[in-house]
Amino acid sequence: MTRVSIRLRLRRRLGAWIRRTRAYANEVATVGPDEDYARRFYYFGARAALLAPQGVIYNERYLSIGDEVLIGPNVCLTAGIGPDQEMLSAPVVSIGKRCVIGRGSHIIGHWSIHLGDEIQTGPYVYITDQNHSYEDIDAPIGWQKPTEGAVSIGSGSWLGANVVILPGTTLGKNTVVAAGAVVRGTFPDHVVLGGVPAKILRHYSEAEGWQPGPAR
């Protein structure tokens, strides 16, 4: 047996051990409702889970996670701009029952973000209720007072990969948002949104079924 073949065999064994160890560590680090950490949240529902590795999570007492919610790896959930900030109301971020939040997504609340029941997102979805302002042309954008607007996403909706939900957005129930869309505004139930900025691509009519464009 040559040195090269020995190194390859050792590398394969080491790789297998690392993968098994990582899988076990992620399993152990998954947060369920019976964990001590779950008690920090405003609400942490029955049979809910925060899969590991978790993203940035802080001000848990302002975060509500509904029953049977599955939050994927590397998801960031925050309230406010930093840990221990006192917020004006609770919860700031509320996720309803039986939702699935895709890996790498960010839900960044400052005022009010409400997700209904049975919502699913693809990976890397970004939802926020605060945005930078730019009215003062002499001040750096990052130092100007931000603007806020409550966000509400209707039950049964699906947000595709890399969707961005901006402050002040209200989505009706069973809404589909196409991958990569940037959404701001108020939209009715049973529509398909897409584009930058997002527009209604299809709507549902009880008389005619699914039709292109917005309802007339």
- Known catalytic residues are 132
Q: How far apart are the first and last CA of the chain?
A: 76
Q: Tokens standing for 156?
A: 């049964």
CA distances from 191 to 121, 155, 174, 186, 199 (A): 16, 13, 7, 12, 10
Residue 19 CB burial class (10 angstroms; 0-12, 13-18, ≥19) = exposed
